[in-house]
């Protein structure tokens, strides 16, 4: 375990993922926030943008940064911005990086894909982590045990609904309250960008994986959380499937197999993933639920920081669900 504070820098500090990350870091026992960079908010208090931080910190957004002054750098910018950042800023030797964008999720340029339930040992020895996408995390955690057992052969059908925070902090036509409220819609049907990392990673666990993944993303009338309903052909009985999942996740810090139906309120405001499996005919039906901003983004990023810095995996992440 680290004896000294881990010095933290954040690039792209004004969005939802940075706000959630800061909410976790200000109370993390081994973290010291050195700078939070935001060109548009430079000089403003963090709580001017992330109002929930009022009373927790008097830090201000910075318009400049010194990468040699930090041990860990979180990149919280938009997709594509991370490659631009490194084109303009050389990485100091030994600087650990956790990128929440999708730029390096293919594990290019020495990055390790940061899904601990899949490759925890690889993460432990890494300096550069590509944090998984939110849908990708939720769906993969519903399928990893089957892939590891070589049981993904038929089509995989996924319908997953997400809260409005998944669209980012900047308002858009489909995240504006008057449109989102009392409404529901699909988008990027069968074409969502997270399919790329899902297919890649399932193929790493199950050699020759070629099954179709039919993914229908849904915009939900709520702010945070993802509920994925997955079904695929499976030769196992329900009892065998439950045993397979419990065995795969027996050492996981935040993923748990529930023998009852699961719901979003069990995971919102936590870094947990809850998985439930049941058999219907020849189909295995899997429910997987996460908080898209925590296990789907900032919580998992902090989990990865704990791992690469030699801390207990759950440090700063023992959060209670907002049950009501």
Average pLDDT over residues 101-125: 97
Q: Residue 167 — pLDDT band, cuts 50, 70, 90?
A: confident
Using an 8 Å Cβ cutoff, are 226 and 163 in contact? yes
Task: Give the pLDDT confidence score for residue 1 in this predicted structure.
Answer: 40
- Catalytic residue selected from 134, 138, 234, 273: 134
Span 80-90, pLDDT tens digits:
999 999 999 99
Average pLDDT over residues 230-243: 98
Give the burial class of 7: count Cβ atoms within 10 A of its Cβ; 0-12 exposed, 13-18 middle, 19 or more buried: middle
Using an 8 Å Cβ cutoff, are 193 and 135 in contact? no
What one-character DSSP code corresponds to residue 238? Answer: H
Q: Residue 2 — pLDDT band, cuts 50, 70, 90?
A: very low
Q: Residue 26 — pLDDT band, cuts 50, 70, 90?
A: very high
Tally Cβ neighbours within 10 Å of residue 310: 12
**Phi and psi torsions of 168, nearest 5°:** 90, 170
Task: Give the pLDDT confidence score for residue 172 in this predicted structure.
Answer: 83
Is residue 73 pLDDT above 90, yes or no?
A: yes
Average pLDDT over residues 217-236: 97
Using an 8 Å Cβ cutoff, are 41 and 67 in contact? no
Domains of the chain: 6-132+295-308 (3.40.50.720), 134-292 (3.30.360.10)
In Å, the largest CA–CA distance within the chain is: 60
138 is catalytic: no
Task: Give the pLDDT confidence score for residue 217 in this predicted structure.
Answer: 97
Task: Give the pLDDT confidence score for residue 148 in this predicted structure.
Answer: 98
């Amino acid at each position: 375990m680290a004896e000294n504070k881990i010095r933290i820098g954040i690039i792209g500090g004004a969005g939802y993922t940075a706000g959630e990350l800061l909410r976790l870091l200000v109370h993390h026992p081994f973290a010291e926030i050195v700078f939070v960079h935001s060109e548009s908010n430079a000089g403003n208090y963090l709580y001017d943008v992330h109002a929930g931080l009022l009373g927790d910190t008097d830090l201000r957004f910075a318009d400049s940064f010194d990468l040699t002054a930090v041990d860990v750098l979180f990149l919280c910018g938009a997709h594509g911005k991370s490659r631009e950042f490194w084109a303009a800023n050389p990485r100091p030797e030994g600087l650990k990086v956790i990128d929440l964008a999708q730029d390096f999720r293919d594990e290019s340029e020495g990055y390790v894909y940061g899904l601990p339930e899949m490759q925890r040992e690889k993460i432990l020895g890494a300096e550069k982590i590509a944090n998984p996408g939110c849908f990708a995390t939720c769906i993969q955690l519903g399928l990893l045990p089957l892939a590891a057992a070589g049981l993904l052969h038929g089509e995989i059908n996924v319908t997953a609904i997400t809260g409005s925070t998944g669209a980012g902090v900047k308002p858009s036509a489909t995240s504006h309250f008057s449109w989102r409220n009392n409404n529901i819609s699909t988008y990027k049907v069968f074409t969502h960008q997270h399919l790329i990392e899902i297919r890649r990673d399932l193929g790493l666990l199950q050699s020759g994986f070629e099954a179709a993944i039919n993914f229908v993303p849904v915009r939900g009338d709520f702010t945070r959380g993802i509920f994925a309903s997955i079904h695929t052909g499976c030769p196992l009985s329900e009892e065998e499937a439950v045993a397979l999942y419990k065995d795969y996740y027996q050492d996981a810090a935040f993923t748990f197999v529930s023998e009852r139906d699961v719901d979003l309120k069990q995971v919102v405001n936590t870094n947990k993933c809850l998985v439930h499996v049941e058999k219907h005919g020849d189909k295995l039906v899997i429910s997987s639920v996460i908080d898209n901003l925590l296990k789907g983004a900032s919580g998992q990023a902090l989990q990865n920081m704990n791992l690469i810095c030699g801390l207990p995996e759950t440090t700063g992440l023992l959060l209670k669900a907002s049950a009501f």
